Amino acid sequence: MTTLLARVASPTVRPSHRVRHLLEHNLIVYRSVWWVILAGFFEPVFYLFSIGIGLGKLVGDVPGPNGELVTYAAFVAPAMLAASAMNGAVYESTFNIFFKIRYGNTYKAILATPVAPGDIATGEIVWSLFRGALYSAGFIVVMALMGLVESPWGVLALPATLLIGFAFGAVGMAATTFMRSWQDFDLVTMVTLPLFLFSATFYPLEVYPEFFQRFTQFSPLYHGTELVRSLTLGTLDSGLWVNIGVLVGMGLAGSAVIGRRLERLLLS
């Protein structure tokens, strides 16, 4: 991804080997509050146990991506995995970065060193991917223990969540370059909440009216959910390339915007 940013960014924002200094910085910061990191792992697990299992018992089986019936828990679990990858990446790239700029003054001190804006952007995205990977791996283990990973392809759910994290992290950070005040962040929630609720996360697409189904195709989280779900249920087909393509395209578009606007965000 470093080379990716390098291609779209101007020289001053181009990332360098100094990216690792920012990662090191974040590691040191979080070393004392590691339990905050640990806490993030639990939220999707809680959702899985509540909606997937508690309510799931009353729902019964539902059709998976290829129409075959699966238990509700096996249907919802991959969606929780995909949604938490999105939520984590969005939180890190919007609220957290804005807070660091506005109140923490973290970057002001860092930018006085040879570390450039591009290093910071790349470092933050890589960092959030690293965090996300930890959560995802933990959640996939929980799923496996509960018998909700029905195919060996499920191992690929981990890179799939990284792709989701990259796509939403890049777009989130790009959006943050346009943010002026905390009030603007209400918009972030107004986008992520509908995505969370309406991306075939809690029930198959067929439940919606047809018009709505077509609309859902525009939800990037829908593509993430479909991708992860197909992998953990082992129902692979060529449609997956569309899912992957949408997420990659989103990440690239976000990166391009970041490359153009990052200086405005960090060098004011």
Query: Is residue 29 involved in binding another protein (CB under 8 A)?
Result: no
| Chosen residue from 3, 17, 58, 112 binding another protein by CB under 8 A | 58
Cβ atoms < 10 Å from Cβ of 262 = 24
Task: Name the residue nearer to another protein (CB basis): 7 or 214.
Answer: 214
- Considering the complex, state which of residue 58 and residue 145 has its C-beta at the smaller distance from another protein: 58
Count the Cβ atoms, other than its own, within 10 Å of residue 96.
17
Those residues with Cβ within 8 angstroms of residue 218's Cβ, 6 or more apart along the chain or in another chain? none
Closest CA to 90 of 22, 162, 167, 36: 167
CA atoms of 153 and 128, how far apart (whole Å): 24
Which of 13, 47, 79, 91 touches another protein by CB under 8 A?
47
SS (H, E, C) 101-161: HHHHCHHHHHHCCCCCHHHHHHHHHHHHHHHHHHHHHHHHHHHHHCCCCCCHHHHHHHHHH
What is the Cα–Cα distance from 91 to 94, expressed in whole angstroms? Answer: 5
Question: Mask of contacts with another protein, 90-129, x by CB under 8 A?
Answer: ----------------------------------------
Binds another protein by CB under 8 A, chosen from 4, 6, 23, 59: 59
Which residue among 12, 27, 34, 46 contacts another protein (CB under 8 A)? 46
Q: Phi and psi dihedrals of 224, rounded to 5?
A: -65, -45
Compare residues 112 and 190 and give the one whose CB is closer to another protein: 190
What phi-psi label fits residue 219: left (phi over 0), alpha (psi between -120 and 50 degrees) or beta?
beta
Binding piece for another protein, criterion CB under 8 A, among 130-138, 142-150, 192-200, 238-246: 192-200
Shortest distance, CB of residue 91 to another protein, whole angstroms? Answer: 11
The phi, psi pair for 36, rounded to 5°, reads -65, -40
Q: How many angstroms separate the CA atoms of 162 and 89, rounded?
A: 10
Give yes or no for residue 39 binding another protein (CB under 8 A): yes
Q: Binding of another protein at residue 202 (CB under 8 A)?
A: yes
Binding segment toward another protein, per CB under 8 A, in 15-23, 110-118, 169-177, 202-210: 202-210
Pick the binder of another protein from 29, 109, 191, 197 (CB under 8 A).
197
Q: Which stretch binds another protein (CB under 8 A): 21-29, 46-54, 138-146, 241-249?
A: 46-54
Closest distance between another protein and the C-beta of residue 192, in Å?
A: 11
Contacts of 4 (CB under 8 A, 6+ apart): 252, 255
**Residue 171 belongs to what H/E stretch?**
helix 157-176
List contacts with another protein (CB under 8 A).
Answer: 33, 35-36, 39-40, 42-43, 46-47, 49-51, 54-55, 57-60, 62, 72, 183, 186, 189-190, 193-194, 197-198, 202-203, 207-208
